[in-house]
Amino acid sequence: MTLSLNTRKIDEVVIIDMNGRLTCGEPQMMLRSTLRHYMDDGCRKFVLNLGGVSFVDSSGLGELVAARNSLATHDGQINLLGLKEKVRDVLIITRLVCVFESFDNEAAALTALTA
């Protein structure tokens, strides 16, 4: 299963709904180009809805970290939303769970970015 992305914007926050597997290659590049497109347009606040993501490999994790670091240098932020158990476990094992703020509902993720 490949990765599909659906983007929407609520006020100044870009929400990227993701479905499939965030892995090396096309899925990783698709996420990178989507984030860059919005960052080039001046967007600095993102919610990545991973509720439909069944698997993340090391390249996918690397892309999440690279995006977070890139946004941090531009006073931006990424929040994660709807982590499935398998994806949450990978973030815990790699200790990246401490790097990202994650939320179970969209309203909380948005509020954290706009507060």
Residue 9 belongs to domain with CATH number: 3.30.750.24
- Nearest C-alpha neighbor of 16 from the set 1, 31, 37: 31
Assess contact for 79 and 46: CB atoms under 8 A: yes
For residue range 44-87, list pLDDT tens digits in order: 999 999 999 999 999 999 999 999 999 999 999 999 999 999 99
Tell me the two tokens of residue 89: 């476990």
Model-level pTM? 0.93
Q: Which domain holds residue 13?
A: 4-114
Name the domain count of the chain: 1
For residue 76, the one-letter residue type is G
What residue has token string 């490999």? 57
CA distance 77 to 75: 7
Q: Residue 1: is its pLDDT beyond 90?
A: no
Q: Residue 115: is its pLDDT beyond 80?
A: no
**Local structure of residue 96 (DSSP, 8 states):** G
